[in-house]
């Protein structure tokens, strides 16, 4: 079974440029998560989708970050414009969506460097 797929794996951009990350969850997983992971820290939730609906986006900086999950499968996270402080690893995870003891499976992440 394929795991969570993310692309690109690495991205280097200059500040004020836009950037987008793509995630394909495990087949059959209804819940999709985007996390931010700073160096030496644990993942922090940005947004959670149940199918195509964003049910928790309270930690998403909406002035510059946006996300979508069309058709309830793949998802895209966008930053526009990027700032120096956005340099981090962006992780996507998915789960079956069966309850609050749902196991999350993570992708390899996208390492973003903003110059």
Partner 1 sequence: GENVEQHPSTLSVQEGDSAVIKCTYSDSASNYFPWYKQELGKGPQLIIDIRSNVGEKKDQRIAVTLNKTAKHFSLHITETQPEDSAVYFCAATFGNQFYFGTGTSLTVIP
* Positions in the binding site for partner 1 (CB under 8 A): 4, 6, 31, 40-45, 48, 55-56, 91, 93, 100-109, 111
Residue whose CB is less far from partner 1, 24 or 43: 43
Residue whose CB is less far from partner 1, 72 or 81: 72
Pairing type for strands 88-95 and 65-68 reads unpaired
- Helical (H) or strand (E) element with 106: strand 105-106
- The dihedral built from the CA positions of residue 37, 42, 44 and 50, taken in this order, carries a sign that is positive
Residue whose CB is less far from partner 1, 30 or 76: 30
Least Å distance between CB 26 and partner 1?
12
How many Å apart are CA 21 and CA 108, to the nearest integer? 12
């Amino acid at each position: 079974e394929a795991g969570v797929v993310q692309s690109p794996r690495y991205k280097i951009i200059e500040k004020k440029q836009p950037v987008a990350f793509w995630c394909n969850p495990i087949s059959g997983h209804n819940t999709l998560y985007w996390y931010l992971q700073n160096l030496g820290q644990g993942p922090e939730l940005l947004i959670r989708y149940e199918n195509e609906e964003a049910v928790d986006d309270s930690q998403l900086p909406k002035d510059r970050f946006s996300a979508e999950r069309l058709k309830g499968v793949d998802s895209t996270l966008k930053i526009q414009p990027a700032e120096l402080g956005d340099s981090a690893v962006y992780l996507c995870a998915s789960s079956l969506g069966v309850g609050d003891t749902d196991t999350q499976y993570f992708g390899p992440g996208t390492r973003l460097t903003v110059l």
